[in-house]
């Protein structure tokens, strides 16, 4: 699967349906018919939309965990809690299940943001707050994560 790019302001209707941005639909055109998995984010109060192929690859990795270790079972249970299979309908809309809407505090105004190979769905105010909070130490974070001295591992 190709990498996904873009951040878009969107709206959710009263029934919890999101009209997918045209640019995102174009990028996902090859995988639209396979469906998606929508789940709670681990680190943020947002949702993560996985193309089915990405979800299956992740589940295959998780399936290699030793299930006779309690922490592995606890992790799998927590990671997959609330995950739902969703589809984009013929009109280009995605229905966000009510329990996930509540988890992410999604109201009318949302942000759909690419996160390399998945899409994050945020309440607009929470997204702006997360970006503002991250801006305070982003330079230090960028240096720590991407600024390796070894040319074989860093990005130049």
* pLDDT tens across the length of the chain (156 residues): 568 999 999 999 999 999 999 999 988 888 888 999 999 999 899 999 999 999 999 999 999 999 999 999 999 999 999 999 999 998 899 999 999 999 999 989 999 999 999 999 999 999 999 888 776 677 777 788 888 765 555 555
CATH of domain 7-125: 3.40.1550.20
Q: So what's the pLDDT on residue 64?
A: 95
Greatest CA separation found in the chain?
51
Q: So what's the pLDDT on residue 155?
A: 55
Contact, 119 vs 5, CB < 8 A? no
Q: So what's the pLDDT on residue 18?
A: 95
CA-CA distance, 146 to 154, in Å (whole number)? Answer: 6
Torsion over CA: 122, 32, 2, 5 (sign): negative
Q: So what's the pLDDT on residue 102?
A: 94
Q: Which residues pair with 119 in a beta bridge?
A: 49, 114
Domain extent listing, the chain: 7-125
Distance, C-alpha 119 to centroid of its chain: 4
CA-CA distance, 10 to 108, in Å (whole number)? Answer: 8
CA-CA distance, 39 to 96, in Å (whole number)? Answer: 10
Tokens at 77, concatenated = 């249970």
Question: Has this prediction a pTM greater than 0.75?
Answer: yes
Within 8 A by CB and 6+ apart from 92, the residues are 19, 20, 22, 25
């Amino acid at each position: 699967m190709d990498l996904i790019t873009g951040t878009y302001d969107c709206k959710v209707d009263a029934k919890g349906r999101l009209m997918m941005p045209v640019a995102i639909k174009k990028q996902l055109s090859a995988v639209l018919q396979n469906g998606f998995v929508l789940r709670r984010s681990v680190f943020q109060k947002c949702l993560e939309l996985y193309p089915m192929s990405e979800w299956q690859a992740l589940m295959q990795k998780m399936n290699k965990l030793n299930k006779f270790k309690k922490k592995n079972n606890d992790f799998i249970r927590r990671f997959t809690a609330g995950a739902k299979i969703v589809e984009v309908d013929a009109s280009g809309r995605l229905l966000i299940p009510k329990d996930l809407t509540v988890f992410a505090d999604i109201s009318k105004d949302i942000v759909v943001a690419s996160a390399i190979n998945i899409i994050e769905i945020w309440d607009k105010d929470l997204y702006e707050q997360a970006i503002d909070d991250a801006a305070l130490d982003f330079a230090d974070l960028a240096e720590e994560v991407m600024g390796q001295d070894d040319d074989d591992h860093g990005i130049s």
